[in-house]
Structure formats: structure tokens, C-alpha cells
Structure 1
Amino acid sequence: MALDPALPVGRRIQYYRERAGKSRAVLAGLLGRSPSWLKQVEAGVLLPPRLPMLTRIAQHLGVDDLSLLTGDVSMPRALYSGMDHAALASVRRAVDGAPLGTAGGPAPRLDHIAVQLADAWRTRMTRGDHRTALAELLPPLVSAASVAASHPECTDRRRAEAMYASALNLTQMYAAFQGDGNLVWRVAERALATARASGDPQAIATSCWFLVEAFRKSGQWESAQTLTEDALRLLNPVRTENPELACAWADIAYHAAITHAVAGEAGDAWRWIDRAKAVSDALPADHWSAPTSGSRQAAALHSVTVAVELRQTGTALRWARRLPEADVIAVPRRGRHLIEVARAHALRGESEKVAERLTTAVEVAPETARWSEETRAMVRALIDGGPSDQVAGRRLADAIGMAA
């Protein structure tokens, strides 16, 4: 049977899965993913899997020609697999070079590491080319922090472990959406283990936030929600102690909202938005968490995402209008916000506004746009559109390094 050439990837996977006589649970298990993840892929709620996962799906379904799943023989690989930053190998070496036992040599000075760490987070917030900027800062920072956390003469081990966890959180931001998914998991899990060893609730909460992000991006929603609930229980007794802990609670609650939204659970998603907003609205006006963008502005930022995931485009755009772009202090987060707004316009079929928002996102934070799966998907849709859309799509493809 010949399939309609316009049939999307998800429906093609469903067709060949059913033809092979495999249930959704069986195929998901073979892929190491959850049935809910596969359901969302087949329904088109999630973007199509990247090329390595598509190859594994084809193998398990007995599909010899990958184009039967993609419907497009000329589909560029860059659309589905993250590009490696030029310095990824050096950052990976710093992560993998952490001492296995007690570190030797002189003990690193914790105050010096604190300055390095603050400089790295400030760089991440203020640079549109944040990956390139971080690539120079991360290797010495990660190495020093890992040695300090395991050195027998460390003067404050709890502080050293909390700083090492923070350096690993920053590394996850650098490594995300590149080709080495194993590195992302390695730093996310190591950060949480290190933070737990420190006993610092702020460090634990932030590392939970990053691991939840990894769970959700890989479609592991149940794991994401379980960890979210654990983090909220941990923070609940202490969240009134200071603005940082209150912000951490709100950040995790926003995670709960987004996870419910991705799963299509609108009522739960908006209830969590309301709970998180009540806390973040009470933060000091100038409060901004570098790792999570926790702030008074967070309600609008996350509400746009929740509404987009729920396909409530009018709501998404109303929230977007409430938040001037200049109020999003962190430059990469501002770029991400513009991409989310573009997604809302894409759901409405407003290709001209999609191109406008993406063009601005590239200008504001080029490396956020370049390593965004959603951006590549929208650029591909523009290229496949009418003549004027094709011009805009090819221009954007050139700007983000994607084959047009």
C-alpha cells in the first residue's frame, strides 16, 4: 500500500508499527521510551524523532528504507540531530576528567571558583553567542570545581559540592541539543548526586530543575513529574525562608505545569501555573535566577509555553503581549521566548509572523536559535511553503547553519 506523501512522520510510524503487529507499549519498550512518548510522537504533539532514533524505529519495524518513515528522501539530517559545537570535545574532557577518588595537589581556593562560577553564569545570561563564550570558561571551571569537591583539604565541602553542581548545571545548558545526548545525562545526574551530597536545598532544587528538563525533552514525562513532586516536597517546608528558595519552588511548579501541558492535561497545567505565579509574583522586582530565569516575569514566559503546548494559541499570544521582550533579562531566554511566540503563530498558520519572530530571535540570541529543534522545524515549514515563505526560510536556514 502506498502512503499519502503528505502523511506526517508520526502517522507513518503508527502505520508501520501496526503493520508489524507491535503494540505501542512493545515498541516504546524496545526504544527505551515510555508509551506516552510514542503516543505523542505518533499524534504529532512532539517533533519527529532525530535520525538515530528514526533508524532504531525502522529496525524494530522491519522498515528497510528510512524514507518510508520520513516521506522525504532529501530530508536533511541537521533537522533532526543536534549540531556539535566546535569546543564540545574540550568541555566533555573536563567533565570526564573529574577525580574518581580523593583529589591530589593543592586545594583550589573556593573564593576563586566562586568568582569563576559567577562570571560564567553572567556570561550565559548576557551573550547571544553563549555557547561559544562558555566553551572557554567551562573546562577550567568544571575541572577546578570537581577537584575542590573531592579534595581532602577542602575548607568547606558543602560549599564546594554546591558550586560543582552549579558548574555541571551550566554545562548541561551548553551541551543541550547537541549530538552527545549521553553528556547531557551524565552532567544532569552527576549534578543532582553532587547537590544531594552537599545537603544544600537550593543546589538540590536547581539540579532537580535541570534533570526534569532532560526527562521532559526526552519524553519521559512520568519520571519528570515524579522528580518534580519530590522537589516540591523538599522545598515546601523551607520556601518561606528567603526569596531564593521561594523562587526555586516556583520554578519547579512551573515545570509541573509544562509537563502536564505537554501531556495534554490542560486543567492540571493551568492550576500549576496559578500556584507558581502566586509565589513568583511575590519575588522582589529585580530578582532573576540565572540558571532557571526564575522571576516575576516567569509567569508570562511559562504561560506562553503552556498555552502553545496545549494548542491554545490565542492565550499564548495574549500572555506574550503582556511581557515586553526587553523585560526578559537573560539574552538566551529572550531568544527562547521569541521562538515560543513563533510557535504560537506557526500553529495559526501565520508564516509571515513566524519568520519575523524567528528573525528577531536569531538577531537577539543566534546560538539559542541555532540549537533549537523547534526553530529548525519552523524553518523547514517555511521552506516548504509559498514563494515568499521560501525566501524567508532559506535566509533563516543560512543564519542557523541548516541545509535548505
Structure 2
Amino acid sequence: MTIDDNPRRIGENVRAARRASGRSLETVAGLVGRSKAWLSKIENGHARLERRADIAALADVLEVSADYLMGGPAPEVQPERRRYNLMALQRVLLDAAPDDPPDVRARPVDVLRAEVERVDAALRDADYATIARTLPDAIGELYVHAAGPDGPGRDEALRLVVRACGSCATCTLRHLGEVHLAWIAGERAQQAADLLGDPVWRAAAAFGRAHARSSANRPRALMLTPRIADEVEPYIGDDPFAHQVYGMLRLSSALALQIDGDDRGAAENAAEAARHAEELGEDPQAFELFGPANAGVWRTSLAVESGEAAAALGYADAVEPRALASKNRRAALWMERARARAMLGHRPEAVTRELRLAERLSPQQVHHHPLVRELVADLMHRAGGRDLRGLAWRMKLI
């Protein structure tokens, strides 16, 4: 990753892209349905882009990726980076596949299942050093079993590849700002699911691909989730895992529709997911932690995205953080609370307090979140304070 000691604000990237396109403020603002004054404030850092839908619309009009507008992978915090190295994970994702395994000796599938479970526990604890050490070998050896003869061992290996690549690797890499590798991890999971031929596991892999890239890009994998949820619904039966996969796809569908401007469709999908979550109850081992608490975190985020900040805080207040068996999801809850408070004009100290709670749980996730980085940069223009300056420094914003 390239280190940039002076990362630009999103508004600065919008201005650079607009000027490169040769279009005026008035023209671009009109094309996204906003005022010239609004866009001028964005470009000059006097207002911030808070909604993914606005970023997506500007990216479309300016013919650039949303990743470009959001600054791409965020600068690394060097002391943390020394604790892990992603080269081995990059190598196994780029140089091998479920049908093209590496030339290694594979441990038994039962041993590898325990390794994947250890990685999953490390991810929930935001322990990226353990993931970086353990996951590459596990994936490579699972590929060996996946490429073997048909049978229960091969099928179990393929399911474990979906978990290892589609959940563990994709989420880890996205949190660390490695979005391109995250996408490849999602592809490897989808390859394994296709080889397995099970519609529920195909849907589980589709969830990982849907969230490998920023949703502000309107990635096709995310925008297809409403159709994928419809397609898997007839297969869920009474299997709790299938219901969990279906529920996460309905939440993903809500996000896709929200970004696409379909508020009603988003609300219907979120409500459907919440209904399934209440029926299933909390299960710390659920697929992507699907349950009432995580559905509440998603509904908080969806309300923020729709600009309903007061409703977002209402959803957040109803979530019991201890029911979220993952530091990452608890951190997501505090980040969305911070964004909602900022929208409502709450004091910078209150916003910073929420972000500090998130950072204590999952620092890399906070440091690499483009909308949180934008929020912190904006707060630095408007306020000071030791906690805010410390957070901005750790995010390499000052």
C-alpha cells in the first residue's frame, strides 16, 4: 500500500474529478439533483458527504469510481502494521483456487475446520495478527481437499472454503483497506460454492462478494442481492443456517435498494430480515451473527443512510451490545451512532466519544472506514479537544 502522509478529503477528490471532467459546479450539482451551493461546500470542506447514495451519484456523473472519491485504501497505522503481514494471504488468493490447489501437504479436514473456527474467533476479536498467521495455510490446504475426489470430505472442504474466504478473508481485508484482495477472496468463495452446487451455500458466498467492495460503488454483486434472496427463499425450509443466510441477504438487499433510492423497498427488506431474526433469536455462532442485535445494527446504518438520524439512534438504543458476539459489529454500532449524532448536530465531544468506543473495539476498522475518516476530518475543522486530535492523529489525518 502506498503511504500518503496528507490524505485528501472526499470533497477535494470530488473537485479534482469535476475539474478533470471540464464541468462546472452548477452542471454537476444539477445532474445529481443538488444545489450549486451544496456542491461548493462539499468541495471546499465546509460540509461533508454523509450518504453513500450521494457519493455513488457523484461517482456516476463524474465517471470515476466511488473508491477514488473516498481516497482508496486509507493510510496504514504503522505500529499496527508491524503486527501482521498479508503477503501469504495475498499469495494463496492470487496463485491458487479451489480447482487449482497449491502443491502442499494438507492436514485432515477436521483439523482445518478447527483452524477456520480459530480464525473466525480471531476476527470477532479484531485480532488480525492471528488471522494473517493462520488463514493462508488453512485456505491452501482446503483447496487441496476441494480439488480431490467427490465425497463428504470434499464437500466439507468446499463449505469451509466459503467460510474462510467469503466471510473471514473478505471481512478482514475490507477492514484493512485491501478492497481488491477482498474481492478476490469473495470470488474464491463463490468458486467453491459453485463446485459444491448447494443453493444455500451459493447464497452464502454471494453475501461475501456483495460486501467485498464499498457499497457506494453500487457493485453489481450487492445490487443483485434482492434477486439472490428471492431465489434462495424456496430452499430455506426449517434449516437455521439457511434462514440466517436468507436474513443477511435481505439486509443486503435493503442496503442495495436504499443506495438506489428505493426507500420503500429498503424498509420492506429490512423488516423481513428483522422478522426472521426475532423468530431465530440470538445465536453467537450464526452466519454473519444474524440475529435481533445485528439486524438492529443494520437498521441503524440504513436509517443513517436515508438521513433519518433520530430513527437511527432509536434503533441503536434498542440494540444490546453484549448480544453482539463480535467486536467488529459492536464497533459498527458505535460508528453509526456517531454518524447519526453528527447529522443531528450534537456536540463534537459526544460524536468523538462514540468513535472512541468503536476504536477501542476494532481500531483498524475505524481507521480505514472512509465515511468515518471524512467525519473526523470535518470535526477537526470545527472543533478541537485532546480525544479528537488523538483520534485524527492515529488515523493519519494530522
- TM exceeds 0.5? yes
Alpha-carbon distance between aligned partners in 2 of 1:16 and 1:343, rounded to the nearest angstrom: 29
Alpha-carbon distance between aligned partners in 1 of 2:288 and 2:316, rounded to the nearest angstrom: 19
Asked if structure 1 preserves the Cα contact closer than 8 Å seen for 2:183 and 2:213, the reply is no
Residue of structure 2 in register with 1:145 after alignment: 142
Letter in 2 for 1:46: R
Select which of 392, 397, 401 maps to 2:392. Answer: 397
Per the TM alignment, residue 384 of structure 1 is displaced from its structure 2 partner at its CA by 1.1
Alpha-carbon distance between aligned partners in 2 of 1:276 and 1:7, rounded to the nearest angstrom: 32
1:63-102 alignment, distance < 5 Å: 80-83=72-75, 85=81, 86-98=84-96, 101=100
Residue of structure 1 in register with 2:312 after alignment: 316
Query: Mean alpha-carbon deviation: is it higher for 181-190 or for 302-311?
Result: 181-190
Per the TM alignment, residue 102 of structure 1 is displaced from its structure 2 partner at its CA by 6.3
Residue of structure 2 in register with 1:19 after alignment: 22
Letter in 1 for 2:309: T
Select which of 153, 165, 169 maps to 1:168. Answer: 165
Query: Mean alpha-carbon deviation: is it higher for 351-360 or for 82-91?
Result: 82-91
Per the TM alignment, residue 291 of structure 1 is displaced from its structure 2 partner at its CA by 5.0
Alpha-carbon distance between aligned partners in 2 of 1:366 and 1:20, rounded to the nearest angstrom: 39
Per the TM alignment, residue 120 of structure 1 is displaced from its structure 2 partner at its CA by 1.1
Per the TM alignment, residue 219 of structure 1 is displaced from its structure 2 partner at its CA by 1.2
Select which of 347, 350, 355 maps to 1:353. Answer: 350
Alpha-carbon distance between aligned partners in 1 of 2:363 and 2:104, rounded to the nearest angstrom: 40
**Larger relative contact order, structure 1 or 2 (CA cutoff 8 Å, min sep 6):** 2
Asked if structure 1 preserves the Cα contact closer than 8 Å seen for 2:229 and 2:249, the reply is yes
1:106-185 alignment, distance < 5 Å: 108-125=107-124, 127-128=125-126, 130-152=127-149, 156-169=153-166, 170-178=168-176, 180-185=178-183
1:5-404 alignment, distance < 5 Å: 8-9=11-12, 12=15, 15-16=18-19, 19-20=22-23, 44=49, 45-46=51-52, 80-83=72-75, 85=81, 86-98=84-96, 101=100, 108-125=107-124, 127-128=125-126, 130-152=127-149, 156-169=153-166, 170-178=168-176, 180-214=178-212, 217=215, 219-220=217-218, 223-226=221-224, 228-283=225-280, 285-289=281-285, 292-350=288-346, 351-388=348-385, 391-398=386-393, 400-404=394-398
Asked if structure 2 preserves the Cα contact closer than 8 Å seen for 1:379 and 1:397, the reply is yes
Letter in 2 for 1:93: R
Residue of structure 1 in register with 2:36 after alignment: none
Alpha-carbon distance between aligned partners in 1 of 2:313 and 2:173, rounded to the nearest angstrom: 30
Q: 1:153 to 1:12 in 2, by over 3 A?
A: closer
Asked if structure 1 preserves the Cα contact closer than 8 Å seen for 2:175 and 2:364, the reply is no
Asked if structure 1 preserves the Cα contact closer than 8 Å seen for 2:53 and 2:259, the reply is no
Letter in 2 for 1:181: V
Asked if structure 1 preserves the Cα contact closer than 8 Å seen for 2:328 and 2:362, the reply is yes
Alpha-carbon distance between aligned partners in 2 of 1:394 and 1:373, rounded to the nearest angstrom: 18
| Secondary structure at the counterpart of residue 214 of structure 1 | coil
Q: 1:175 to 1:104 in 2, by over 3 A?
A: closer
Quote the sequence identity (%). 18
Asked if structure 1 preserves the Cα contact closer than 8 Å seen for 2:104 and 2:141, the reply is no
5+ residue gaps, structure 2, are: 1-8, 32-41
Alpha-carbon distance between aligned partners in 2 of 1:317 and 1:240, rounded to the nearest angstrom: 34
Q: 1:113 to 1:273 in 2, by over 3 A?
A: same
5+ residue gaps, structure 1, are: 1-5, 28-40, 61-68, 71-76
Pairwise CA RMSD: 3.6
- Residue correspondences, number: 358
Per the TM alignment, residue 368 of structure 1 is displaced from its structure 2 partner at its CA by 2.2
Alpha-carbon distance between aligned partners in 2 of 1:265 and 1:59, rounded to the nearest angstrom: 23
Per the TM alignment, residue 14 of structure 1 is displaced from its structure 2 partner at its CA by 7.5
Q: Deviations over 1:42-95 (max 9, x none)?
A: 99433998xxx99xx7999xxxxxxxx99xxxxxx9x65334544122211232
Per the TM alignment, residue 293 of structure 1 is displaced from its structure 2 partner at its CA by 2.1
Q: 1:394 to 1:143 in 2, by over 3 A?
A: same
Asked if structure 1 preserves the Cα contact closer than 8 Å seen for 2:277 and 2:291, the reply is yes
Q: 1:58 to 1:310 in 2, by over 3 A?
A: closer
| Secondary structure at the counterpart of residue 260 of structure 1 | helix
Per the TM alignment, residue 309 of structure 1 is displaced from its structure 2 partner at its CA by 0.1
Q: Deviations over 1:232-253 (max 9, x none)?
A: 1332112222111111111100
